[in-house]
Amino acid sequence: MKVLVINCGSSSVKWQVVESDSGKRLAEGKAERIGSDGRTHEDALKEILEEAKTHAPEAVGHRVVHGGEAFHAASVIDDEVLGAIEACVPLAPLHNPVNLAGIHAARALLPDVPHVAVFDTAFHSRMPRRSRMYAIDTELAKEKGIRRFGFHGTSHKFVAGLAADYLKTPVQDLRIITLHLGNGASACAVELGSSSETSMGMTPLEGLVMGTRSGDVDPGVVLKLARELGIDEAERVLNRESGLKGLSGIGNDLRDLQAKAEEGHDGARLALTVFAHQVRKYIGAYAAVMGGVDAVVLTGGIGENSAPMRRRILQRLEFLGVRMDEDANQGAKVTDDDPVRDISEPGARVKTLVIATNEELEIARQTQEIASGAKKIAQKKPIPIAVSARHIHLTREALDALYGEGYELTPYKPLSQPGQFACEEKLTIIGPRNKIEGVRILGPLRPGCQVEISRTDEFFLGVDAPVRHSGKTKGSAPITLEGPKGTLKLEEGLICAWRHIHMTPADAEAYGVKDKEYVEVAVKGGPRDLIFGDVLVRVKDSYALEMHIDTDEANAAELGRMSEGDIVDAEVYVTPNDAEAVIREKS
């Protein structure tokens, strides 16, 4: 699809016509001097469209800086969406109004093609609460709309995707630190395929040292400047006179600072040192936040082009597994056509990649997805809930020990997940305090034994079973099983099952969730509404849409008395991940 990508700034409009499938750039340009001599965005867009129209764009993708809480993804622009972007103006007073001006002008001039808004904030919109909340009074924060939003999302998403392609691993299985280092700079912890933490905050002023923005400072510094210089001047100083410019006393262009530093300029040296230090600090922090890191990606004008700055940043990170090959670093040149360079030492545990970002292409791709209807969010259907009573999975050897050599299980009834069945056979499970008789075996046989009980069972048995994903029994609790032909003591295998939803890729698409993501599920409409947090999403072609909870969880939501296999259609919706306990276990 040919997409016209429009990026409206306060005094300029950058544009490209991109062939979104091939990534080919068909035309590009920049209209400047908007605001001077009464020249408006509409005037500029008229000129742009004259030229762009010769390429017959089939859709228009607009970069919109702030999507607030309303947008988790790109969206076709209609009046409702315009209203929601308008509502975000107070959050981005410099950016959203000009983005809107561009949208209005372009829609009037190109009324017959779909227009799509792609938000800088959307990629971060599923950040967990622990990352997006500032530690101030929650009521006040809510009233004033104070929270972390994050920016540069289009770039972080694009380079994380390219890193995953390069590593031939699904992005959901990687922990990536993306560093967008340009005149504006931000770091992002990309986990489970989306942003779990990012350095820019409610505004693009927080975080890394930037060209002219300060990045992190003690909030006391802001107060002092505001008190002594006045609010407007403090704002100007922090946004326009700080960062590399403020530290060096020279300017914000890294190339100049590198040249001056070589000549021995103190301010330039200081600026480079503080910049690199701050980036390295965030790498360490994000590795800690994600419990490890698989790849570090550098992008943006500085990340892509400055080998000396990359070296400064990446030194002394060997303890994390980040080992850079200096020759590869010096030789790394990236382009849109050849966007990825691996600068890690061979065998380094963490891959260090230089990647050319291409926000226009990402905007074009998202625009195509939305405009072509390919990603139309399907009507959300209720999720059937299956309540799992306590049950047992056995290995061949365990069945032999409990029922005699070569014994075959007798299917009693099929379960909803294809190929699974409840058996006639039942066992007694014996804990230190009590035993429970008549616990059903589920087939077919598996490579590992697993006994799933509820918390209530656990107290009764007198054991301490961890909450685990199915199959993750290493280090779980011991339990004894008693069958007609013998007793079997399992050293591990007793768990409380982690609540989860099975779904097909189509269901996942409809709900806007991904495999291994954690979501909240609200059970509504019953006598005891309940929101389940930390629900693991498991996506596979062979799955049937179904949420699995145990009897305690079902009782808490008053989902009736059920035995294994029974299904209740509850009114359920899935909300963005708010899970606090992101446990990185592969299911």
Active centre residues (catalytic): 120
Structural contact between residues 572 and 561, judged by C-beta atoms closer than 8 angstroms: no
Q: Which residue has the tokens 């992101």?
A: 582
Structural contact between residues 300 and 180, judged by C-beta atoms closer than 8 angstroms: yes
Tokens representing residue 529 in the block: 């509404």
Exactly one of 302, 399, 442, 508 binds ligand AMP (CB under 6 A); that residue is: 302
Q: Shortest distance, CB of residue 319 to ligand AMP, whole angstroms? A: 27
Nearer to ligand AMP, 253 or 509 (CB): 253
Nearest to 553 by CA among 479, 496, 511: 496
Q: Shortest distance, CB of residue 299 to ligand AMP, whole angstroms? A: 8
Residue 108, H or E segment: helix 96-109
Query: How is residue 158 annotated by DSSP?
Result: H
Tokens representing residue 300 in the block: 């943006």
Nearer to ligand AMP, 23 or 251 (CB): 251
Exactly one of 16, 96, 198, 306 binds ligand AMP (CB under 6 A); that residue is: 306
Exactly one of 182, 201, 243, 339 binds ligand AMP (CB under 6 A); that residue is: 182
41-52 vs 96-109: helix crossing angle, rounded to 10: 50
191-220 positions binding ligand AMP, by CB under 6 A? 211
- How far apart (Å, rounded) are the C-alpha atoms in residues 298 and 182? 10
Residue 389, H or E segment: none
Cβ neighbours of residue 193 closer than 8 Å, sequence gap 6 or more: 160, 170, 171, 172, 514, 517
Stretch that binds ligand AMP, among 134-142, 216-224, 301-309, 467-475 (CB under 6 A): 301-309
Nearest to 183 by CA among 108, 99, 245, 232: 245
Stretch that binds ligand AMP, among 297-305, 393-401, 555-563, 575-583 (CB under 6 A): 297-305
Nearer to ligand AMP, 192 or 298 (CB): 298
Nearer to ligand AMP, 211 or 576 (CB): 211
Nearer to ligand AMP, 64 or 356 (CB): 356
DSSP-based three-state secondary structure for 460: helix
Output phi, psi for 569, to 5 deg: -85, 100
Stretch that binds ligand AMP, among 136-144, 294-302, 344-352, 511-519 (CB under 6 A): 294-302
Stretch that binds ligand AMP, among 191-199, 299-307, 360-368, 403-411 (CB under 6 A): 299-307
Q: How many helices (H) and strands (E) does the chain have?
A: 19, 27
| Residue number closest to ligand AMP, CB atom | 301
Q: Shortest distance, CB of residue 213 to ligand AMP, whole angstroms? A: 12
147-176 positions binding ligand AMP, by CB under 6 A? none
Stretch that binds ligand AMP, among 295-303, 513-521, 537-545, 556-564 (CB under 6 A): 295-303
Query: How is residue 264 annotated by DSSP?
Result: T
Beta pairing, strands 59-64 & 115-119: parallel
Nearer to ligand AMP, 53 or 255 (CB): 255
Q: Is 300 a residue that touches ligand AMP (CB under 6 A)?
A: yes
Nearer to ligand AMP, 67 or 301 (CB): 301
Q: Shortest distance, CB of residue 254 to ligand AMP, whole angstroms? A: 4
- How far apart (Å, rounded) are the C-alpha atoms in residues 297 and 282? 13
Site string for ligand AMP, 231-260 (x = CB under 6 A): ----------------------xxx-----
Exactly one of 131, 183, 239, 372 binds ligand AMP (CB under 6 A); that residue is: 183
- How far apart (Å, rounded) are the C-alpha atoms in residues 454 and 98? 56
Alpha helices, H only, 478-550:
505-511
Total chain residues near ligand AMP (CB under 6 A): 11
Binding site for ligand AMP (CB under 6 A): 182-183, 211, 253-255, 300-302, 305-306
